[in-house]
Amino acid sequence: MRFAARPFSAACLALTLALAGSAFAALPRTGKFEGTTSQQAKDGSPAKLSFSIVERGEEITKVVFPSLAKCGKGGQTLRLKTRTTEPAPLVKGGIKIGGRVRGPLERRLRFRGRFQMNGRFPTPGQAQGTWRLRAVVVERDGDVVNRCRTGTVSWRAARRP
């Protein structure tokens, strides 16, 4: 009887520790977060991003994320700045948002695409994660001129005091 209790106790301990680890994940503090990405700005410095955490740390809003997307034809690069306005809920205390982007480029060209931002909060005042964007460059009549993507871009941010 004593040997049967030990494996059960070990299994309970392992389950308790696994659940406790997820319970100690940091919940973000409300406020504005600013940071940098693994991509470069025009001047060669790291590109800067920002976002805000609102509603007692339950939503993310006002995301501003610069992207440098490489395009398939002609080695073209596309510099975009994605801005979100609608708040999105944090999923299990982490960031998992995505959506559509579109806008004008030069002359008769426009772009449209999709982005995805994932992240976590190692501490209440710090965040880190990844960003991806895919876009197509189209003419006014809808003909696709080029296809562009960022690949996986890493980012880090801290809450402003």
- 106-140 pLDDT, tens per residue? 878 999 999 999 999 999 999 999 999 999 999 98
Whole-angstrom Cα distance, residue 133 to residue 130?
10
* Residue-by-residue DSSP string for 109-124: EEEEEEEEEEEEEEET
Q: Domain ranges in the chain? A: 26-159
CA 3/CA 8 separation, integer angstroms: 9
User: Is the Cβ–Cβ distance between 35 and 155 less than 8 Å?
Assistant: yes
pLDDT by residue (tens digit) across 25-70? 578 989 999 999 999 988 999 999 999 999 888 999 999 999 999 9
